[in-house]
Amino acid sequence: MKRIILISGLLAVFTLKTVMAEGPSVKEPGTSKAGSVVYLTNETFKKQVFNYTVNKDWKYEGTMPAIIDFYADWCAPCRQLSPVVEELAREYAGKLVVYKVDTEKERQLAQSLGVTSLPTLLFIPAKGKPQVATGALPKSVLVKAINEVLLVK
């Protein structure tokens, strides 16, 4: 009985830490508030980013440049990158959109886009083709990509 209570207590603490670590992000798929990360599902991705089931050639559905962070909760580099992505969403609010896709929940989407390593970042300019980067890149590299690929200052 003590073991069950201890495990339940640890689980509660872990859950609380996880929720608090997520910060200001909006977890409801496809919704956002200024300066926050937007979590995408397969369906909201097709509406807001690229409908890969209809279009064979890249056609961005958005109007602002975007970054998409493909991640998994179990991925240590993803957890390392997450606060940086959150920070960029706040710093570039109104200039670009920052999305996140949980590859464990959205396996079909990740597979359709060829995401094979985590974290994977997709940099999408308002016009033109997206570019991909993988790994927990330092903030300075991400800012350089925002400035040079997305043309956001």
Q: Which two tokens stand for residue 52?
A: 């890969």
Q: Which of 37, 68, 78, 113 is catalytic?
A: 78
CA 84, CA 104: separation in Å to the nearest integer?
Answer: 21
86 flagged as catalytic: no
Spatial neighbors of 8 by CB under 8 A, at least 6 apart, are: none
DSSP structure class, residue 152: -
Sign, Cα dihedral of 12, 104, 100, 67? positive
70 flagged as catalytic: no
Q: Which of 37, 66, 68, 75 is catalytic?
A: 75
The set of catalytic residues is 75, 78
